[in-house]
Amino acid sequence: MRLTNYYLLLLTLIILSSCNAQKENNVVSLKDSFKNDFCIGTALSANQIEEKNEKEDSLIKKEFNAITAENIMKSMFLHPAKDKYDFAMADKFIAYGEKNKMFIHGHTLIWHSQLASWMAEIKDSIEMKNFMKDHITTIVSKYKGRIDSWDVVNEALNEDGTLRKSVFFNTLGEQYLVDAFKLAAAADPKVDLYYNDYNNEEPAKRQGNINLIKKIKAGGGKIDGVGIQAHWRLESPSIETIEESILAYSALGLKVAFTELDITVLPNPWDLKGADVNQNFEGNAKMNPYQEKLPDSVQVKLANRYASIFKLFLKHKDKISRVTFWGVHDGQSWLNDWPIKGRTNYPLLFNSNLKPKKAYQSVMKLKETNE
């Protein structure tokens, strides 16, 4: 009798072990849940690219199948001097994506911010043309066939839809936009080319974005998609406004990507909207209300907001190529220091301890109910 009980216990343990192993092999994740809908991406810091934190690295590989470099491919890092490129970190970023079979997005080729100081000082149109040709051709050619899509131009519009008076516009006029897309396409004809901006879901800026796209196409430029950064808030923009933008951009024959998704839960000074990294404001206690933790009531609001957004994304999954979060976890988020330094924000699906939040569960439940 004792021997029989022993074998029964042993058999039970074997079955349990097998079930647990099967569960581990079928771990539910964002990338697997949405694999038939669109890519799920994240922005990687330099430390994450170099795999310096084992737990972060494990989370990235488990949850995401697309990556964007948070900073290291911006011109101040990639092209620090006129006759010098530094590809060391970019090479590691590409290698990381290839090793993990991820969609690799290049961010960004032409942007007025985070420029190397020598670029901002260019005043002559011929010199600017030569810079753009060398910069875009060198970088895109180097990673030809290895990068899946590029932000060719980033944030070229003002909030009213007019063109920003950047160093590129001031030297070349609006032609620089056409030239940038032509140069990128010539360097890698097969890579997808995007225009990327914040608040370009808002009506005035959206119309300016549509006008810009039409000018690029009319000038012979190749443009495959629009990136909506999606630095959003708990109450705005409305789901209707976001949907109108998806439909408007898709109607132009373009892919739509949500490229830098995060949702601030903190109050904004003077009702600030947007993502201009050059804006900063002095802080006070009222502007940093959740220093220790996020109250459950706000966790629920954040979860409901993410659920509404992803419900819309699933509705239009045939038009959306990629949804990328701007950071892996709350502790990494740029919103802890913008537009007020030293605050504690909670804009992503994972907390600073890498644990999934209510918002994560709300997004995942959408797939459970749809299947």
CATH code 3.40.50.10490 for 29-370 = no
3-state secondary structure of 65: coil
pLDDT at site 277: 46
Task: Compute the distance between CA of residue 247 and CA of residue 241 in angstroms, rounded to an integer.
Answer: 10
* Predicted confidence (pLDDT) per residue in 136-168, tens digit: 999 999 999 999 999 999 999 999 999 999 999
Q: CA-CA distances (angstroms) from residue 105 to 36, 40, 311?
A: 19, 12, 24
- Which pLDDT tens digit goes with each residue over 240-256? 999 999 999 999 999 99
State which amino acid sits at residue 164: R
Which of these is catalytic: 56, 155, 201, 202? 155
For residue 338, the model assigns a pLDDT of 80
Which stretches of the chain score pLDDT less than 50?
A: 1, 3, 12, 15-16, 18-25, 277
Q: Report the pLDDT value the prediction gives residue 14, as an integer from 0 to 100.
A: 52
Residue burial 113-147, b: 16+ Cβ < 10 Å; e: rest = eebbeebeebeeeeebbebbbebbeebbebbeeeb
| 260 catalytically annotated | yes
CB 196 within 8 A of CB 255: no
0.95 exceeded by the pTM? no
Determine whether 61 is exposed, middle or buried from the number of CB atoms within 10 Å of its CB (0-12, 13-18, 19+).
middle
Among 361, 173, 338, which residue's Cα sits nearest to residue 264? 338
pLDDT of residue 29: 97
Q: Which of 260, 282, 292, 368 is catalytic?
A: 260
User: Could you tell me the residue ranges of all domains in the chain?
Assistant: 29-370
What is the structure's pLDDT at 15? 47
The predicted structure's pLDDT at residue 208: 98
